[in-house]
Amino acid sequence: MIKVGIVGGTGYTGVELLRILAGHPAVKLTAITSRGEAGQRVSDMFPSLRHRVDLHFVAPEDAALEQCDVVFFATPNGVAMKQAPALVAAGVKLIDLAADFRLDAATWEKWYGMSHAAPELLAEAVYGLPEINRAQIRKARVLANPGCYPTAVQLGFLPLIEADAVALDHLIADAKSGVSGAGRKAAVANLYAEVTDSFKAYGVGGHRHLPEIRWGLSRVAGGRNIGLTFVPHLTPMVRGIHATLYARLTRELSEADLQALFETRFAGETFIDVMPPGSHPETRSVRASNHCRIAVHRPQNGDTVVVLSVIDNLVKGAAGQAVQNMNIMFGEEESLGLTMTPVSP
């Protein structure tokens, strides 16, 4: 059994990790920390976990995390990087669901507005998008779990960029997220009465996932520069990201060619489902599961390819992908504990 600790389990990513890990046959949940909630039963805060998770929150200093095999950080940005060196030194693997180990140090410091506390671990860290990076993940000590938008967007652009089929200077990612992506913190902007029955863009001027996507796609593109316009939107739903991607073809590829390109690229990927030609995947078709469903279109036979990519932001966009990475890091079957069927309706 893999002994698992969780730091910061009071947000949506944390409770989703608990939901998944509670049903994972190779995991023993050992400790979950929260300074604010220390002493409280986890299931008193999250009644959905009653009789499934019997832990209490403990203060970080009482958690004995160094005795875990792996520790997940479901914390705000800037927390994991401070605790990482001690844990790594103790032989504990670390999976950070926040942004501390993504990007390079210079870009990170620019977008996150702090200096990095563990730049050498940042340099060593592996970016955990298994469909791109599986071999390195296997050996990772510090794993940077990708952001939700970056997961949906990168997976959608991936075959096109690897095949050098589109102009890299003018990619557009119009992405729509459910509200759980904003986290479980008290904020007027995320109240029910503010969010429901309305739709808006945000962060058009610059969202932190923009550099992450550019950086990831640039690596796929052999280091070439990525000209990306990324507009995230808030959608009145809980879970789900729908990325609508636009790119200009640089060579003639029929819709059938594009379909074959995607199917070939993702053949054998358990969690990537290339939908039949002409499909429009719905976010609910992946709700509460680790799947990414993708459809590729070439409208009106024009020069613009449109990719539709949907995930559950809390699963493939966060906790599920983290568990997928854990499975790889510990030599388990990649889908272990992740075979749940999406919940729909």
- Per rule CB under 8 A, is residue 13 in the interface with its own copies? no
d(CA 29, CA 32): 8
Query: Which segment (87-95, 98-106, 283-291, 322-330) binds its own copies by CB under 8 A?
Result: 283-291
- Per rule CB under 8 A, is residue 284 in the interface with its own copies? yes
- Report which of 241, 238, 257 is spatially closest to residue 305, judged by C-alpha positions: 257
Considering only residues 105, 163, 221, 340, which one is a binding residue for its own copies as defined by CB under 8 A?
340
- Contact string 73-112 vs its own copies (x = CB under 8 A): ----------------------------------------
Considering only residues 242, 324, 326, 329, which one is a binding residue for its own copies as defined by CB under 8 A?
242
Minimal distance, residue 53 CB to its own copies, in Å: 8
Q: Can you tell me whether residue 235 is helix, strand or coil?
A: coil
What's the gap between Cα 220 and its chain centre? 18
Q: Which residues from 218-237 bind its own copies, rule CB under 8 A?
A: 227, 229-231, 233, 235-237
d(CA 169, CA 306): 16
d(CA 67, CA 86): 12
- Output 19 or 265, the one with its CB closest to its own copies: 19
Helix (H) or strand (E) segment spanning residue 152: helix 148-162
- 182 burial type by CB count under 10 A (0-12 exposed, 13-18 middle, 19+ buried): middle
Q: Which residues from 116-135 bind its own copies, rule CB under 8 A?
A: none
What's the gap between Cα 333 and its chain centre? 19
Minimal distance, residue 85 CB to its own copies, in Å: 32
Minimal distance, residue 44 CB to its own copies, in Å: 8
Considering only residues 180, 259, 313, 321, which one is a binding residue for its own copies as defined by CB under 8 A?
180
- Report which of 63, 116, 71, 79 is spatially closest to residue 95, judged by C-alpha positions: 71
- Per rule CB under 8 A, is residue 256 in the interface with its own copies? no
Minimal distance, residue 110 CB to its own copies, in Å: 13
Note whether 101 and 123 are within 8 A (CB): no
- Output 124 or 303, the one with its CB closest to its own copies: 303
Find all residues with CB under 8 Å of 241, minimum gap 6, and list them: 148, 149, 151, 152, 175, 176, 177, 178, 181, 283, 310, 311, 312, 313, 317
Considering only residues 113, 120, 280, 333, which one is a binding residue for its own copies as defined by CB under 8 A?
280
Query: Which segment (59-67, 71-79, 143-151, 167-175) binds its own copies by CB under 8 A?
Result: 167-175
- Per rule CB under 8 A, is residue 342 in the interface with its own copies? yes
Minimal distance, residue 84 CB to its own copies, in Å: 28
**Helices 320-329/130-138 angle, 10° precision:** 40
The size of the interface with its own copies (CB under 8 A), counted in residues, is 86
- Per rule CB under 8 A, is residue 8 in the interface with its own copies? no
- Report which of 336, 339, 319 is spatially closest to residue 128, judged by C-alpha positions: 319
**Which of the residues 27, 103, 140, 148 is marked catalytic?**
148
Prior bond of 119 cis (ω within 30°): no
- Output 113 or 278, the one with its CB closest to its own copies: 278
Considering only residues 286, 292, 319, 326, which one is a binding residue for its own copies as defined by CB under 8 A?
286
Q: Which residues from 181-220 bind its own copies, rule CB under 8 A?
A: 184-188, 190-202, 204-206, 210
Find all residues with CB under 8 Å of 162, minimum gap 6, and list them: 220, 265
d(CA 171, CA 243): 12
Considering only residues 28, 48, 113, 135, which one is a binding residue for its own copies as defined by CB under 8 A?
48
Judge whether 292 counts as a catalytic residue: no
Catalytic residues: 148
